[in-house]
Amino acid sequence: MSKQSLSPEQKAIVDQWLQSGEPMLVEASAGSGKTRVLTESVRQIIEGSPKSRSKILCLTFTNKAATEMQERLKDLSKVIKDRVFIGTTHAFALDIIKSRRHELGMDEMPTIIDKESDKKEIVSEVILSNPFLSRHYLNPTSEKITKHKTAAQYQADLLNKCISFISSKKQKLVSLDSDADSPPGRNWTPGKISLYKDYNDLLRNQNLIDYDDIILLAWKILNERPAVANLYSRIYEYVLVDEAQDLSFAQYEFIKALCGDKIRKVMMVGDANQAIHGYAGASSKFMTEVFVEDFNLKESQKVKIQYNYRSSDAVIELANELAGIHQNTVKSYYKGKVEFQVFDDEAAEANWIVKKVNDLIGREEEAYDGKLTLDKIAILGRNRFVFSTLIEKLKEDLALKDKFFLKKGTGILDPQSTTMKIFDLGIRVLSNQKAYLYFNQLIDVLDIPKEIEPTLSKDIQDLKRVLSESNLDYLPQEVFDCLIECWQSIDKDINKFPNVLDRVLKASQVVEEDYERDLIFNDVEEWKEAWGDYVRSVAANAKSVSDFRRFLAMGVTKTQSEHGLTLATVHTVKGLEFHVVFLIGMGQGTFPDYRAIRKGAIEEERNNAYVAVTRAKRELYVSYPMAKSVPWGVQRQPKSEFFRNKEFHQPIQVQPE
């Protein structure tokens, strides 16, 4: 994509920042063109100093946002490769760990735990190996069992609480690396101290890190090694931060440690009304207050993009009303449409949406930028459960049954076939021979008695041994022989990975179980696409099994086929836009979520609704069912408090054909 024109408002902001050489906060509401401001800032820096060696750091919240910025600067790809890092904060932090891990005493790059189930497995091991913790875990009081109904539910709840506790402390950059370290703050009981230390010790012993460790360890390198921080501050002259309203404490402190007192050319861009990740420790205050104070911003360095350049008048009006803001917006070229519908139940709501989508498809209007296709339509909800009835109705519709998808929240690869699960675990073992976590999981998948000791060698002999002991009767020996050959091949030459996948697919032809064979085919296709993404993102001489695994753990693969009608939760569509949006299930208790109502956390829910509304470029249809299905029957619900002053109309009931 070539250079994009800036509006006078956007141009003034870019010019001010580049000419002043000072930090700037840009508050940019949905549709105001913040991505354009960021990318054109990068473009002007490069074009203004083509021979400069100074580098530019662009930090995004999602991999998709990074890809979009790279696409917009595609015409400068050669220069971008040498002078600009565009990626997530976690991706940049991981690069620091890769190049400076010796500062932390790491001989090898650790493996990233990319599954919540793996983390639970480790926490469970920590609890069971600690007498104090195991006593509470294995022998709950009758009162606790009564509260949770069963001992198993109590244990599951305790595991989740332990994981949340550990994550919250890492997001606060807490390190307890030795017995001499004292935990900061209050409420650190002996049990919590033991849990935190033992968990991190277990990770360290297996050369593992979790996702929260990426920022923590990179910050630690910069904070405890001033020479390293100075090196990075000399390399990067400019730092641009996208979606800054979603920065967590750890992410902000990491950026602050990177900049130190040397990097002043910092631009933070965000919208406090779109702050929706408070559950993960994020807060818009790091952008609007802490950054302003730490970098001594004057009023002239705090600017706002006032105009909306994307949405129709109708959508802008509702968004402003919802957020309680009064943008001094120009009139949109498109009038647009917002409608509010109420239905007797979820089936009636779903039937109406299916019919409406069918009626809209194929219409050709200027507002739709040509013909309206399914790719231009999204159906959004607060959680994935609101789609259950709708999905049933879509599957019954002859025109739409194979033309929709439920958008996933992560791109992490998760094999569904047993064969590819074994293949994946074998790769994990080869890439980190200290991680007996994966060896134990391999034993479980293969249905092998626990007597086999998880002692790993540096060759492939242990993998051969466990496969020979498998009790899986639906995978023939030919498949196991193929997997062993594939692991050996990859271990010798990572570039043979595509050929190895073809060999797995060929070997699957001897599998008699149809379901397993179909799953293998789908898994292999996803792995091929993931491998292609990896090859395009890394230098030819830098590929390795362990690096590929880290790439997969960062969720930058594009393994989901996203063609057709989009069904998505609000959290998965940040940064996306559609010509037509249906916002469904807008009942009180669903959106806003009942838990947020109880906790008094309505503002973040309101921000969620704001994000949902502003995904619509032209038309928005808001609806809710007066009765919804729950496990114990049917529950009545009023309309969402966010639209309590709106009049919802009940269409004539649509019966499926």
Which residues have a Cβ under 8 Å from the Cβ of 9 and sit 6 or more positions away?
305, 306, 307
DSSP state of 303: E
- Report the C-alpha gap between 612 and 615 in whole angstroms: 5
DSSP state of 74: G
Residue type at 251? Q
Contact predicate 237/85, CB 8 Å = no
What is the total residue count of the chain? Answer: 657
- Report the C-alpha gap between 497 and 524 in whole angstroms: 11
Instruction: Report which of 216, 214, 225, 206 is spatially closest to residue 103, judged by C-alpha positions.
Output: 225
- Report the C-alpha gap between 221 and 633 in whole angstroms: 55
Total Cβ atoms within 10 A of residue 348: 22
Q: Is 30 annotated as a binding residue?
A: yes
Residue type at 623? S
- Six-digit token pair at 113? 């735990």
3-class secondary structure, 511:
coil
User: Which uninterrupted H or E stretch holds 172?
Assistant: none
Which residues have a Cβ under 8 Å from the Cβ of 306 and sit 6 or more positions away?
9, 32, 327, 328, 329
Q: Is 418 annotated as a binding residue?
A: no
Contact predicate 292/270, CB 8 Å = no
DSSP state of 240: E
| Sole residue written with tokens 């479980």 | 444
- Helices 418-431 and 461-468 pack at an angle, to 10 degrees, of 150
3-class secondary structure, 577:
coil
Contact predicate 626/343, CB 8 Å = yes
Q: Is 33 annotated as a binding residue?
A: yes
Burial class (CB in 10 A: 0-12, 13-18, 19+), 602: middle
- Six-digit token pair at 370? 């040509």
- Report the C-alpha gap between 541 and 195 in whole angstroms: 41
Q: Is 34 annotated as a binding residue?
A: yes
Q: CA angle at residue 381 from 212 to 570, to 5 degrees?
A: 35
- Report the C-alpha gap between 579 and 369 in whole angstroms: 9
β-pair partners for 620: 338, 581
Annotated binding-site residues read 28-35
Annotated binding-site residues for ATP read 28-35
